[in-house]
Amino acid sequence: MKFQSGSPSKWLSATGLVTIACACVVSPQPQPPLPSVEIDLELARLKLLPSGEQTVLEGLPGSVVIRNRPATAGTIEVVNLNDASPLVELAVGVDGSFRGVVSGAVTDEFRLQASAYEKRSAPLDITARISGDAVETVQPSRPLACLTLEPAADLDFGETFVPKTLPLLLTSGCTAPVVLQDVKKRTGGSSWQVASPLPLTLAPGAKTTVNVVFTPAGAGVSREVLLLSFVSPETGTRPVSVRGLGSTDRCRGRSEQECVTLNSCRSAYASTCGCSCSTFAAADGKRYEAGAGCAACPATCFTYAACVAP
């Protein structure tokens, strides 16, 4: 084997290879999405302390744990499941601690739910077990471990202007029929109704749904706790929190087609620079967002924006 002598450039030319000088710019690689925020409540760090006819609720540092994000301040909502007293909201420090006074005795059942990063924890129910001078914070017992609720304890209706129905799925793994006698509301709020006939009996291994209806009374958050009362094969209550946000947007909770039809939003609004032509109605089959392409909005276009603010 023979090698070409001489300078590297001559050798490259002789072999037909050409060097090219370039300044390469490495494009930034997309970052993987952050995992979802998780918020947990640590039972072992919670304390219920008697204070006359009220109860001091104390969360030691580390009571509220935030996962997949830096620690931050937040809030915790507390309701007494034994009465209709108002919800209490307590501030949570960056270290996960909090302290406040709530109505009721320490042996009442309290439901806690922490919030941070616009995310809520699963509800945690606690009560106190008293032995002599010792007060221990524990979780209350619930009937029918063989019965699964889905969601287990928290039903979120999101934002809506119109009544909205969501199902609560009951699945029986019990060996005897389960009888749901009634569903009561902790505060009796008029925005919440159960649409399914009661009482109902669930055979062993069977499934059924209890439909819950949220009818906003106006703008803002509405909360309630539904108390499912069982009488067989065990007696007791299973609480389910429900939450919904009443909207000022009268299309919220409806499809665009329903909104256009129900509110007769037609071509009279197409000339406004808030028009938004929907694909199902625009003559040219295109969609125009608010402020963009308004002049080209076809005269026959139905406008979603008109449903929001006619």
- Residue 124 sits in a domain of what CATH number? 2.60.40.10
Q: Which two tokens stand for residue 155?
A: 């039903």
Lowest mean pLDDT among 27-36, 47-56, 82-91, 175-184: 27-36
Taking the C-alpha atoms of residue 236 and residue 143, their distance in angstroms, rounded to an integer, is 5
- Its sign, for the CA torsion 127, 129, 130, 135, is negative
Comparison of pLDDT for 280 and 51, the residue scoring more: 51
Q: Are residues 58 and 77 in the same domain?
A: yes
**In sequence order, what are the residues at sequence separation of 6 or more whose Cβ sits closer than 8 angstroms to the Cβ of residue 206?**
171, 172
pLDDT for the residue 70:
95
Mean pLDDT of the chain: 81
Question: Strands across the sheet with 178-185, in order?
Answer: 154-160, 236-246, 220-232, 178-185, 200-202
Taking the C-alpha atoms of residue 139 and residue 124, their distance in angstroms, rounded to an integer, is 8
Any domain includes 287: yes
Average pLDDT in the 172-184 region? Answer: 97
pLDDT for the residue 251:
62
CB atoms within 10 A of CB 289: 11
Any domain includes 157: yes
Average pLDDT in the 101-127 region? Answer: 96
Do residues 173 and 150 make contact, with C-beta atoms less than 8 angstroms apart? no
Domain count, the chain: 3
Any domain includes 197: yes
Q: Are residues 151 and 236 in the same domain?
A: yes
Domain finish residue from 117, 138, 159: 138
In the chain, what are the helix, strand and coil shares in percent, each to the nearest 5?
Answer: 10, 40, 50
What residue type is 302 in one-letter code?
A: F
Q: Are residues 188 and 279 in the same domain?
A: no
Domain finish residue from 103, 138, 173: 138
Does residue 260 carry a pLDDT above 60? no
Q: Are residues 109 and 158 in the same domain?
A: no
Domain that holds residue 177: 147-246
Give the pLDDT band (50/70/90) at residue 138.
Answer: very high
Taking the C-alpha atoms of residue 198 and residue 231, their distance in angstroms, rounded to an integer, is 12
Q: Which two tokens stand for residue 7?
A: 């300078």
Comparison of pLDDT for 219 and 25, the residue scoring more: 219
Taking the C-alpha atoms of residue 164 and residue 212, their distance in angstroms, rounded to an integer, is 8
Taking the C-alpha atoms of residue 226 and residue 186, their distance in angstroms, rounded to an integer, is 6
Distance separating the N- and C-terminal Cα atoms of the chain = 86
